[in-house]
Structure 1
Amino acid sequence: MILFGASGMVGQGVLRACLEDPDVTEVLAVARRPLSRTAPKLRVVLHSEFTDLTAIAGELAGADACFYCLGVSAAGRDAAEYETITYTYTLAAARTVAAGNPTLTFLYVSGEGADSTETGRSSWARVKGRAENALLAMDMHAYAFRPGWIQPVHGETSGTRWYRVMYRLTSWLYPVIRRVAPRHVTGTEQMGRAMLAATRLNGAGPRVLRTADINRLAA
């Protein structure tokens, strides 16, 4: 299994799920810096230029699945930077890990509101939708995950400061939201379990998964 974004909140949840699953023999995390977590079946490959993964292509060859959890908020970023991180990085990773490997399962963390028509008013949603569309058109088993509210379950933390502040200030709301809008709420543990479950679908089922689908797969 390959994991991008292991230091992010969702990536931490996916990493935890992979390390706890007896069927997962190795997790290869691609990161800019060493991770704080270590484990016998975790291997970290350091790489800084995510628009070009040629230098580590050999390390990424032959994987069963790739969990792509790398992403940023559009807030405070210009459109070009957001597109580079959200679209260019994602497609560079997908093309590298899927090269000559049509049975690879690629699991992309998108977001609720992503615009698959690529014509809506919201720039971030158009970019997310364009990334989804490009991945789903590739010769591999691709799934786009569109979670709504994601609650950290086992101490996972976001790499974005204002997200961390928001979670601290609104943590008391989570039980309320879960009760009144359960179809729009999931957790990092459910994300990890659902993404692992999707690797066993072999391309079947809906390929764009919203929160209710995520929770159903995680059950």
Structure 2
Amino acid sequence: RTDKPHPGMVRAGEEVTTKKGNKIEVKGTLIRSHITPETIEAEVGDEITIHLTNLERAQDETHGFTVSTMNVHASVEPGKTVTVKFKADKEGVYPYYCTEFCSALHLEMQGYLLVKPKGWKPGKTAEAKANYTETDYKATVKKVADTQVVIDSVVGYITSVNFKDFPDVVNMVDDATDQLNKMKDAKAKHEAAAAKKDWDQANLWAEQVWQYQVKAADIGLRAKTYLE
């Protein structure tokens, strides 16, 4: 312990991946229920260093991290940063995920390491067809509205009692608020895409809003249960 900030520590929104020669350095974050970045690209022979910062404020919210088949594992306590290093010695797609049960969405806390052959170059691809329609988008927007009703109900209960007397609940409320604050940008993007009738982008950004909501709702329900 040095009691100094870890050189690989980043805050939410500051995650970054850099590559110099055959060395890749990732500064990522962990928070219920998401690993950022969601994908890491490398080539066979690259040396990969991943710094992971646990953004949780709740003291019992430890996250794990492992890269399938790479014999890499880390346990990251709230507020801490941990570093793992390994060599990408075989091409393929390798999942990485949280190994500590952390929430109802624990199984969604994952990403992928994409290891390409040395010197790989992309070929020409045909333009993908649209996957979503206006009907899909409207269904997602309704899901967002329905989820907000649940969130408002939970917030109403939490604020109706003196939750600030309980530090653990205060931390959970702060975590939930962080998630909800991220919705504004995604909401603006899905509404702008919908105005252009780009239903793929509109639906994807609306789904992102919902993901933030679900994370906030999960934390809020834990806080409500704690108070009850």
**Which one has a bigger Cα radius of gyration?**
2
TM-score by length of structure 1 reads: 0.29
More strand by share: 2
TM-score by length of structure 2 reads: 0.28
- Greater relative contact order structure (CA < 8 Å, 6+ sep): 1
